Structure 1
Amino acid sequence: MSDERSVEHSATAHQHPQKRSNWLNRLGHLLKGEPNDRDELADIITEAGERDIIDEDTQDMLEGVFEISELRVRDIMIPRSQMNTLPSDACINDVIPKIIESGNSRYPVIHEDKDHIEGILLVKDLLKYIVTRENAPVTDIIRPAVVVPESKRVDKLLKEFQQCRYHMAIVVDEYGGVSGLVTIEDILELIVGEIEDEYDDEDNAPANITEINSSLYHVLSLTPIADFNEKFGTSFTNDEYDTIGGLVLHAFGHLPAKGDSISIENFDFRVLSADKRSIHLLQLTVNPREEE
């Protein structure tokens, strides 16, 4: 009886390493093979997660890498309306209160308006001036601003962030106007999840509904139906679902993938971010209502 248990234990002990080895062999063969089939590679990663060959965090990170290769900077940027900026005619003592209040580490410095970026102020560059009590103009301290187009691929920008050792870029539209900014943290969070720091709390959480322009919005899927109704003057019911993500999911009839679109009344919803479990972020286009 003891020998039978020993044989059974031995077989069980070798089963998982063999399974892992087979999966790694398949992955290695795929990477070396001529076909560059992204869907097949994604299926192998999903299968590895389902069979516990890789843990859930690793699977999410690998899927995040795939996601950023398909996104453009416009999909993840902080919109112009939410940019925290400093005026170029200010001195250090003038901007310290705002820096303390917002808690950011980098600020675009503007002249007249947000279309005229003079440079980027790094908070760490203020230290020596604070120690010496020198009230210098912020323009004496700023560093050059890096400018990228809205259409730039996110994975390409991440590579530039790493190679050139900068952490923030100003985003411009096709006409050269400033449409927002993007940081390396925004990209990394797509891969590893939310990166919280000592300034992240509920009071500083991003708005559920962010206006990009008069007809375009970004909407977090967890936005309560009541808040959406109040913002857009709608009367969607929350009897079956409490959030706008639930409303959109119900309209699709299945869990949509990133990039999928659907129209509900005079609203066009496009999925900007989602995983195999839920929707995270929606792009909302408000169309004019047809006259009755």
Structure 2
Amino acid sequence: MADTPPSPGPQRSLRQEDKRGFLQKLAEFIHPGPDSIDELIGILAEAEDNDIINAESRIMLEGVMRIADMSAGDVMVAAPRMDLLDIDSPYDELLHIVIDTAHSRFPVYEGERENILGILLAKDLLKLQRAPELNIRALLRPATFVPESKGLNDLLREFRGNRNHLAIVIDEFGRVAGLITIEDVLEEIVGEIEDEFDEVEDEGDIYSLADSTWRVSGDTPIERINESFGAKLAMEEFETIGGLIAHDMGHVPKRGETHESGGLHFVVLHTKGGAVKWFKVTPAEAASGD
């Protein structure tokens, strides 16, 4: 009986694996991958310059990478700026706070602000209106407590896995340090990062968006706004654009409110802790034309 020739399958497979390995090594030699997050961010900047991605996409991708090194303590609303509800307050007072702050969830305390009993959903106040005999304690949801050192990646995963989108942040001594919401974490992904083209000594953030507008943080110095946009905003009384706009409007701006000053049109995108976090800025003439 004739000898059966050896099967070419394993040898061909081995040659293919060697070939793939060689091509991969050659590609890595010609185009070595980034060795650090900063190098990867530089590659994203080049991709934006080459119109492969837009500015908003770059900001989001950078945010995803940077939150890996951030903790709850970096993003939280500090305890003195937390909007809390006193469980012993009358219904009308509670409703007034809810309407003014426009939050969907509130920590509820009894006696001292550190004594957090639970979380009240704003929509649950409607139950008290329809049935005043209800005890507000029965409407409270359990409060989630996290340490300041809690990583944002882990926190975002927990927020996504349950329906508690607000957590009380505790310091190393067990005291209330602040609070953080899922919206605070997502903000870090959609733009609250340092632009690689900004000077290190600059404060605040100004991002050029794809629709020819700008995303400007509320803590940006007025001087920088004037330099960046060629505006002539007054700098005598206030240092930041958020402080100036709030003064001009006569109240703490709310999301969606607009204001014009110094030839610029401002739209409030987000507020946190009683201050404007982000504006959308357009030259006033362009805004009126739209």
TM-score for the superposition, normalised by structure 2: 0.54
1:35, CA displacement in angstroms? 8.6
Hey, what does 1:162 align to over in structure 2? Answer: 160
Aligned-residue identity in percent:
38
CA RMSD of aligned residues (A): 3.5
| Structure 2 counterparts to residues 2-13 of structure 1, below 5 A | none
Hey, what does 2:83 align to over in structure 1? Answer: 84
SS for the counterpart of 1:69 is: helix
Hey, what does 1:127 align to over in structure 2? Answer: 126
CA distance in 1, matches of 2:134, 2:161: 31
For residues 36 and 88 of structure 1, do their structure 2 counterparts lie closer, same or farther at Cα, with a shift above 3 Å needed? farther
Is this contact kept in 1: 2:95–2:125, CA < 8 A? no
Is this contact kept in 2: 1:77–1:180, CA < 8 A? yes
For residues 177 and 148 of structure 1, do their structure 2 counterparts lie closer, same or farther at Cα, with a shift above 3 Å needed? same
CA distance in 2, matches of 1:97, 1:39: 47
The alignment of Structure 1 onto Structure 2 pairs a total of residues equal to 181
1:243, CA displacement in angstroms? 5.1
Task: Report runs of 4+ in structure 1 exceeding 6 Å deviation.
Answer: 33-36
Is this contact kept in 2: 1:89–1:137, CA < 8 A? no
Correspondence 1:66 to 2:57: no
Could you say which structure has the greater relative contact order, defined with CA pairs below 8 angstroms and 6 or more residues apart?
Answer: 2
SS for the counterpart of 2:115 is: strand
- Cα deviation digits, residues 188-246 of structure 1 (max 9, x gap): 1122248xxxxxxxxxxxxx9xxxxxxxxxx9642458xxxxxxxxxxxx89xx9579x
CA distance in 1, matches of 2:45, 2:95: 48
CA distance in 2, matches of 1:61, 1:45: 11
Residue from 127, 152, 157 that aligns with 2:150: 152
Task: Return the index of the structure with the highest Cα Rg.
Answer: 2
CA distance in 1, matches of 2:139, 2:99: 18
For residues 41 and 34 of structure 1, do their structure 2 counterparts lie closer, same or farther at Cα, with a shift above 3 Å needed? closer
For residues 135 and 84 of structure 1, do their structure 2 counterparts lie closer, same or farther at Cα, with a shift above 3 Å needed? farther
Hey, what does 1:47 align to over in structure 2? Answer: 46
SS for the counterpart of 2:69 is: coil
For residues 88 and 139 of structure 1, do their structure 2 counterparts lie closer, same or farther at Cα, with a shift above 3 Å needed? same
SS for the counterpart of 2:44 is: helix
User: Which residue identity is paired with 1:65?
Assistant: V
Hey, what does 1:114 align to over in structure 2? Answer: 113
Q: Which runs of 5+ in 2 are unaligned?
A: 1-23, 193-203, 205-216, 224-234, 242-276, 279-290
Is this contact kept in 1: 2:128–2:136, CA < 8 A? no
Is this contact kept in 2: 1:91–1:138, CA < 8 A? no
